[in-house]
A and B are shown apart, each in its own frame.
Chain A
Amino acid sequence: NAGVTQTPKFQVLKTGQSMTLQCAQDMNHEYMSWYRQDPGMGLRLIHYSVGAGITDQGEVPNGYNVSRSTTEDFPLRLLSAAPSQTSVYFCASSLSQLTNQPQHFGDGTRLSIL
């Protein structure tokens, strides 16, 4: 089982560059989310989606865009990278609310903005 796959695993960007972090899941999960993890801050929700074509903002959405054109994929776009976006990014997915199952996390993307 592939589970939740994130690419790339590591990335270094220059300030002002744009890029897309990829996230794919093969479990037919409805719910998908993006979090960032910073030292001492826990995980903070950036954007989430409850199904294809539906997305919403989390706690820290500024500077990021998402779309959900298919059930499987949920890419995260950095529009103009800033050093404050240096972080570890995790994508997660889960089945519908009715199943009460936990979110499954990908291995993360470690992003550095110079």
Chain B
Amino acid sequence: GAVVSQHPSWVICKSGTSVKIECRSLDFQATTMFWYRQFPKQSLMLMATSNEGSKATYEQGVEKDKFLINHASLTLSTLTVTSAHPEDSSFYICSARTLAPYEQYFGPGTRLTVT
């Protein structure tokens, strides 16, 4: 149980275009979903927290107009990287949690490369 999927697993896009990444909780309802960014050989950096039906809460330094997050249902959250630039290239990981027992279930990640 507690499986989280991400789609796509990898994507290459041209600079200036937008790309959408989906995060789904497959066998449970996620009250909260999280988006992380991970640079090579580094830890995960929390970008934003999204609750179903409400606006996402972004961490300091994360551009909310660039990284659009939508949590449309209890099983789906999307991250859209708008007007992507090469510096947005990274590994993006989502996670989902229920109210208890306060643990997060992580997706397999999406490798974004902006050329």
Answer yes or no: do A and B interact.
no
Binding site for A on B (CB under 8 A): none
